Amino acid sequence: MSGKNKLVEEITARDDDFAKWYTDIVKKAELMDYSGVKGCMIIRPYGFAMWENIKEILDKKFKDLGHENVAMPLLIPENLLQKEKDHIEGFAPEVAWVTECGNEKLTERLCIRPTSETLFCEHYSRIIKSYRDLPKLYNQWCSIIRWEKTSRPFLRSVEIFWQEGHTVHETSEEAKQETQNMLNVYADFFENCLSIPVILGKKTPKEKFSGAEDTYTVEALMYDGKALQSATSHYFSDKFSRAFDITFRDRQNGVSYPFATSWGIATRVIGGIIMVHGDDSGLVLPPLIAPIQVVIIPISKHREGVLDKAREIFDILREDFRVKIDDSDQSPGWKFSEYEMKGVPVRLEIGPRDIENDQCVLVRRDNMEKSFVKISKLKDLVFNELSKIKSNMYKNAQKRLKSMINVARNLDEFIEISKKKPGLIKAMWCKDEVCENKLREVAGVTSRCIPFEKEQEKISTECVCCGRPCKAMVYWGKAY
């Protein structure tokens, strides 16, 4: 049995057991490992390199829009957390508390941050005095703790690595615009950097972020038809400002409360990349975030000139791409499987016959197509192939998304679709939470989002659940 066949057989087929397939990949592609702390994972170098590339792209986008990075404390005093009642109630079951230091009990419990709104608000209350101090556009890259009852690598864990932006503005219009702008930043990132098509919209009151006035979401659809809430952007109005007594001297020389937002994305996006693009051979990585964009495999490396030519190709590409030469003693077949498993977008094979013809073999990971390419034109060819890979990955994912959106006009149709067809269901809603809860009970789905007005589609005039006049079209689905 060849190394390739053996390696491929170790991955459970997606269509046989999607959950097992996912676990196989995150382990065998060396993205993570389990730790001694239940519910916490170790993100291994290859997985963390993906997160670093994501962070680098987004961090530049944030800074280009005027945001600055800061670092807030890990611990939050209980009195501070209690200032915004609705906010803390939403997190109470997941909060971890520090009660002792050494042998002494603390006089006040300290919460390990589940999110940092309260810390930012305390800080803003001290530094904002005038409208001239606004806006404050802050962001931090950090980890948080939410004591989840069940965990799954990247998708749900006790410790979550993420970024959280927290801004305050002079007017509600500015804050609402910020909320929308950041949602669009995330959508652009998913579609143009990760090749993942997304659906944008507003969360229902039941599903919105604790303490927010409005929550907007980026929803992506996985291969198995489940949705993944992939990024969110929240408008808080002046709720937090009033709770934390954040005031400023306005333009009329009066006292006003500023308006706040927050927005974030987490390492669960890595889980989304796996579940949208991966296949039965392993990862298929979008070129912009792949830790290795090009791997060079010398064939018959013991033959004179082969390693030298591989290193020459490496030098040609290294300034423009993330490149690796694998000159280990493993067989070429084993290496092919290894880098297919790791999702490397482009593989270059170079052997004695290729050298004679001033060419190498280029293999694309997205469709496994092979072609002979001239070494003298390699840099431009690799750039073009990576661009084609990105576009093709998006096209395939978009085609799958469109094929997995169904329409339901009555409750029986809704239940039938939820049982037999994976994916999202478009259906009208009366905006009554009773109906939202009933659909969850009878069909096992949640509301994913209410699309924006320009994307609202009048499927029928009646709520799919109760038959009363409808007020909005909603995407419904099962989700991670």
Query: For a pLDDT cut of 70, what percent of the chain falls above it?
Result: 98
CATH number of the domain enclosing 189: 3.30.930.10
Residue-level pLDDT at 5: 47
pTM of the model: 0.94
Write down which residue in 247, 277, 307 finishes a domain.
277
Asked, as a colleague might, if the bond just before 135 is cis with ω within 30 of 0, I would say yes
Task: State the average pLDDT for the chain.
Answer: 95
Residue-level pLDDT at 302: 82
Residue-level pLDDT at 3: 40
Write down which residue in 383, 401, 419 finishes a domain.
401
Residue-level pLDDT at 82: 86
pLDDT in tens, 234-263: 999 999 999 999 999 999 999 999 999 999
Write down which residue in 401, 428, 458 finishes a domain.
401
- 86 pLDDT tier (thresholds 50, 70, 90): confident
- 293 pLDDT tier (thresholds 50, 70, 90): very high
Note whether 107 and 60 are same-domain residues: yes
- 49 pLDDT tier (thresholds 50, 70, 90): very high
Residue-level pLDDT at 370: 97
Note whether 104 and 219 are same-domain residues: yes
Q: Is residue 287 part of a domain?
A: no
Out of 147-151, 236-240, 267-271, 402-406, pick the least confident. Answer: 147-151
Note whether 446 and 378 are same-domain residues: no
Measured CA to CA, the distance from residue 387 to residue 458 in angstroms comes to 37
Residue-level pLDDT at 88: 74
Residue-level pLDDT at 93: 85
CATH number of the domain enclosing 464: 3.30.110.30
Out of 8-17, 156-165, 208-217, 242-251, pick the least confident. Answer: 8-17
CATH number of the domain enclosing 320: 3.40.50.800
Q: Is residue 283 part of a domain?
A: no
